Chain A
Amino acid sequence: MTQTAPETRTVVVEREFTHPPDKLWRALTQPHLIAEWLMANDFVPSVDHRFELKADWGTVACQVMAIEPHRSLSYSWAALGLDSMVTWTLTPTKTGTHLRMEQTGFGPDQTRAYQGARYGWPKFFDGLEQTLARLD
């Protein structure tokens, strides 16, 4: 796999949860729970395991890259020209858990990646661009 550093981009989403890390860990690693908040899947918490996330708009091909139970989890994320790595980091806090999601390393083909992101967008903000176009 070649890396094209200048094209690399990163998305970070973080949130504080009032739930303990072991509970978040279960939600992030048990297939029936992952299905409830992300997508249908055949995830197994084992390094090198390949799995798929399935939604009505398509499939995301993933592979587990690293696991540190209750602390961090990384998997590759490839869908419709979008090649990236998703890393989850759990940090215990006084009131629960700080959860950080970092998605990074998007591939060199920006057009395809952009198309991927467009089609990979699961009905969220449907019609947003049309709305904006009308208002311009």
Chain B
Amino acid sequence: MPRSPDLLFRSLADPTRRAIFEGLCRHGEQTVGTLTAKAGVSQPAVSKHLGILKQAGLVRERHEGRQTHYRAQPKALMPLLDWTGKMAAFWESRFDELENLLNRMDQ
């Protein structure tokens, strides 16, 4: 796999992105509009999340007229089935929590 696993772990550490990806796994191909309706965040935010998922190889896009359809690429998750990968993802998520804490400590 040419992509960095780091990117994969970080892209899935965000709960909104994970929900978008899980939705695509469960319900198949969807448009940005449909995904926005479910995500509870703005369309630009959803598009940004999809961009990050795409970079990580987790989704693929398909253009049809003015619509862009997104589809999950679950094979990109393979590194996570290795427990070393799981620990890395665990620590990535802890780093996110650490970052949140540090930001709160400022105030």
Contact = CB atoms under 8 A, between A and B. Distances in A.
A15 interface: yes
Interface stretch (A42-50, A66-74, A118-126): A118-126
Question: In the complex, which of the residues B26, B84, B101 has the most CB atoms of chain A within 10 Å of its own CB atom?
Answer: B101
Given A11-B84, A37-B94, A135-B25, A124 B89 contact: yes
B105 A27 contact: yes
Interface in B11-52: 12, 18, 22, 25-26
A121 B88 CA distance: 11
Contact of A117 (B12, B87, B100, B102): B87
A19 B102 contact: yes
B25 A17 contact: no
Interface in A81-136: 99, 101, 103, 113-114, 117-118, 120-122, 124-125, 128-129, 131-132, 135
Nearest to B22: A131
Interface residues of B, number: 29
A65 B80 CA distance: 29
Contact of B88 (A13, A36, A131, A132): A13
Interface in A37-59: 37-38
Contacts of A17: 99, 102
A11 B87 contact: yes
Given A23-B102, A117-B87, A135 B74 contact: yes
A129 B86 CA distance: 12
B89 A125 contact: yes
Contact of B25 (A24, A124, A131): A131
Contacts of A36: 97, 101
B7 to A, nearest CB: 13
Nearest to A26: B105
Interface of A: 9, 11-13, 15, 17, 19, 23-24, 26-27, 33, 36-38, 99, 101, 103, 113-114, 117-118, 120-122, 124-125, 128-129, 131-132, 135
19 contacts: A12-B88, A27-B105, A33-B101, A33-B105, A36-B97, A37-B98, A101-B91, A103-B87, A113-B83, A114-B83, A117-B83, A121-B86, A121-B90, A122-B90, A124-B90, A125-B80, A125-B89, A129-B81, A135-B74
